């Protein structure tokens, strides 16, 4: 095959990968290719991979195997490209374990993807795992259509070096895009239909561009972009929640009352061993300060159980910080040793059964809190941004200010509208309600 026509991009992991995958689709589209209906119909399959936990990385190899098998059965030979953080961290291992992979491209180098695909189609493997920082953004094309809630990457990389984490190695050092360039992209996204912008970065609240624009300033400027009614940001580090940023939550109406603020553990000893540079108490104080300026602030978090050396009492401290914070949503994981990170070689690794048992207890508490939070919004009238059509005809699916999924009857509204809805029912994962800003016909 010398002329690949149809691509399929499959993305794993975090929202930065979702953003990157969208950009890859645009680049391949600009190179004259079209999106295949399914992965099995594609001439080019891009796996945009995640390396954060072992399971995430192993999925890549099984997916490559599956693609090869499905293609062989049909006498097909697609170009398989491995992009993202597994490509960055294990490029050579992929080349060895999966010789059929034609393109290996890291998260900072994918702006060259179309040329790499072309070379691979003519039988030459291409590998690019440079970390040239902001280079790729310069090469990215225009966005023609934007979802009502669109991602905008403003910062990449991480200098924090939490001892369990591969991100500083796979995504490189912290860099912030220039505020003017970010604003330009925000304007373009608004013109293309975005109503909400989710500012993305591995450490988004550490944002500071070369000319000294800080994160709170940037949020203010984005809030002034015509058409943008909502702003969110993710992922944040507790140590970078400055007073200025906390105040911004009380001042900027477009800034939604929801914050994903990972804490990882409630034990100060474990936090120190994780190199987290915050304590359990300072985290709780940050949440309290946020709730003073924005009383309806919903908090989401990340947790790791079974970090090396974690005792029963230290795990109990994690349950305690969960009780003190009261989460609206959360993501929790068993500690997974990642090659090359300091924690992977620490003594006293925790047995799998202990991790499993701790995770189950933590998740039971977090699920309980999530349901309680959702039930707490029953009877509340709030703005909902309609993001897509619901499963039933005439129904729309949108997001509340607190990032809950809300089903409601469209009653004249369409995707992209912000409407007022009274929440009537609340489940663990979604809500439903009725529009209150329009009488039913
Ligand atoms: N093991 C388990 N969880 C991890 N995370 C990051 N690295 C690891 C690891 N080695 C989790 C953290 C982080 C989230 C994105 O993934 O909770 O906040
Ligand atoms: Fe990883 Fe810590 Fe950086 Fe987050 S702050 S990306 S957990 S090293």
CATH number for position 147: 3.30.750.210
Ligand 2 centroid – CA 270 distance (Å):
15
Q: Look up the pTM and report it.
A: 0.91
The answer to whether 327 and 370 have CB atoms below 8 angstroms apart is yes
Q: What is the pLDDT along the chain (441 residues), one digit of tens a residue?
A: 556 799 999 999 889 999 899 999 999 999 999 999 999 889 999 999 999 888 877 888 999 999 988 888 888 889 999 999 999 988 888 989 888 899 999 998 899 999 999 999 988 888 888 766 667 776 665 667 899 999 999 999 999 999 999 999 988 899 999 999 999 999 999 999 999 999 999 999 999 999 999 999 999 999 999 999 999 999 999 999 999 999 999 999 999 999 999 999 999 999 999 999 999 999 999 999 999 999 999 999 999 999 999 999 999 999 999 999 999 999 999 999 999 999 999 999 999 999 999 999 999 999 999 999 999 999 999 999 999 999 889 999 999 999 999 999 999 999 999 999 999 999 999 999 999 987 544
Range of the domain at 421: 381-439
Distance CA 236, CA 238 (A): 6
Q: Say how far residue 193 (Cα) sits from the centre of its chain.
A: 21
Would residue 107 count as lying in a domain? yes
Would residue 263 count as lying in a domain? no
The two tokens of residue 208 are: 């500071």
Residues 6+ apart with CB under 8 A from 191: 227
Quote the pLDDT of residue 133: 63
Quote the pLDDT of residue 227: 97
Ligand 2 centroid – CA 265 distance (Å):
14
Would residue 60 count as lying in a domain? yes
Ligand 1 centroid – CA 405 distance (Å):
25
Q: Do 199 and 313 reside in the same domain of the chain?
A: no
Give the start-end residues of each E strand in 266-380: 298-305, 329-334
Cis peptide before 235 (omega within 30 of 0): yes
The answer to whether 129 and 172 have CB atoms below 8 angstroms apart is no
Q: Do 10 and 83 reside in the same domain of the chain?
A: yes
Quote the pLDDT of residue 441: 43
CATH number at residue 299: 3.30.750.200
Closest ligand 1 atom, residue 14 Cα: 15
Quote the pLDDT of residue 439: 54
The answer to whether 322 and 374 have CB atoms below 8 angstroms apart is no
| The domain boundary residue, chosen from 375, 392, 423 | 375
Quote the pLDDT of residue 440: 46
Domain tally, the chain: 4
| The domain boundary residue, chosen from 224, 256, 288 | 256
Ligand 1 centroid – CA 267 distance (Å):
16
Closest ligand 1 atom, residue 264 Cα: 17
Ligand 2 pocket (Cβ < 6 Å) reads 158, 160-162, 165, 167-168, 202-203, 237
Nearest CA to 121 out of 41, 36, 7 is that of 7
Q: Do 402 and 299 reside in the same domain of the chain?
A: no
Torsions phi, psi of 426, nearest 5?
Answer: -135, 125
| Partners of 419 in the β-ladder | 384
Give the start-end residues of each E strand in 253-319: 258-260, 298-305
Would residue 101 count as lying in a domain? yes
| The domain boundary residue, chosen from 196, 222, 256 | 256
Ligand 2 centroid – CA 160 distance (Å):
6
Would residue 268 count as lying in a domain? no
The answer to whether 55 and 12 have CB atoms below 8 angstroms apart is no
The answer to whether 297 and 257 have CB atoms below 8 angstroms apart is yes
CATH number at residue 69: 3.40.50.12160
Considering every ligand atom, which ligand is closest to the CA of 307?
1
Question: Closest residue (by CA) to atom 5 of ligand 2?
Answer: 160
Question: Closest residue (by CA) to atom 13 of ligand 1?
Answer: 302
Considering every ligand atom, which ligand is closest to the CA of 331?
1
Closest ligand 1 atom, residue 336 Cα: 1
Q: Do 423 and 312 reside in the same domain of the chain?
A: no
For tokens 């990972």, name the residue: 262
Q: Do 17 and 124 reside in the same domain of the chain?
A: yes
């Amino acid at each position: 095959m010398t002329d690949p026509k149809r691509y399929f991009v499959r993305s794993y992991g975090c929202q930065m990968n979702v953003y990157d995958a969208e950009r890859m689709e645009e680049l391949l589209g600009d190179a004259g290719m079209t999106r295949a209906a399914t992965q099995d119909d594609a001439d080019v399959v891009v796996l945009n991979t995640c390396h954060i936990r072992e399971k995430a990385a192993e999925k890549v190899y099984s997916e490559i195997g599956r693609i090869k098998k499905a293609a062989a059965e049909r006498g097909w030979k697609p170009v398989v490209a491995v992009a993202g953080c597994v490509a960055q961290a294990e490029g050579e291992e992929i080349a060895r374990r999966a010789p059929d992979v034609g393109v290996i491209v890291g998260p900072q180098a994918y702006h060259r993807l179309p040329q790499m695909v072309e070379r691979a189609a003519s039988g030459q493997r291409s590998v690019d795992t440079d970390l040239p920082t902001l280079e790729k953004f310069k090469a990215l094309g225009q966005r023609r259509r934007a979802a009502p809630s669109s991602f905008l990457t403003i910062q990449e990389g991480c200098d924090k070096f939490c001892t369990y984490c591969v991100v500083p190695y796979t995504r490189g050092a912290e860099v912030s895009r220039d505020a003017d360039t970010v604003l330009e992209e925000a304007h373009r996204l608004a013109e293309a239909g975005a109503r909400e912008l989710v500012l993305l970065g591995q450490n988004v609240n550490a944002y500071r561009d070369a000319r000294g624009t800080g994160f709170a300033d940037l949020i203010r400027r984005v809030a002034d972009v015509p058409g943008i009614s909502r702003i969110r940001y993710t992922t944040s580090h507790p140590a970078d929640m400055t007073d200025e940023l906390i105040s911004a939550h009380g001042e900027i109406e477009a800034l939604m009352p929801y914050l994903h603020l990972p804490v990882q553990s409630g034990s100060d000893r474990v936090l120190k061993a994780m190199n987290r540079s915050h304590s359990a108490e300072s985290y709780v104080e940050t949440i309290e300060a946020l709730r003073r300026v924005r009383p309806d602030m919903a908090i989401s978090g990340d947790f790791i159980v079974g970090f090396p050396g974690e005792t029963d009492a230290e795990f109990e401290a994690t349950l305690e910080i969960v009780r003190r914070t009261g989460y609206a949503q959360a993501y929790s994981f068993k500690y997974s040793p990642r090659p090359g990170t300091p924690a992977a070689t620490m003594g006293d690794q925790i047995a799998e059964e202990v991790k499993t048992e701790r995770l189950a207890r933590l998740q039971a508490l977090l699920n309980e809190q999530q349901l309680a939070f959702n039930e707490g919004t029953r009877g509340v009238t709030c703005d909902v941004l309609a993001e897509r059509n619901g499963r039933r005809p005439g129904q729309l699916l949108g997001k509340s200010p607190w990032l809950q999924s809300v089903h409601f009857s469209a009653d004249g509204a369409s995707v992209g509208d912000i409407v007022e809805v009274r929440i009537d029912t609340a489940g663990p994962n979604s809500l439903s309600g009725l529009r209150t800003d329009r009488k039913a016909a």
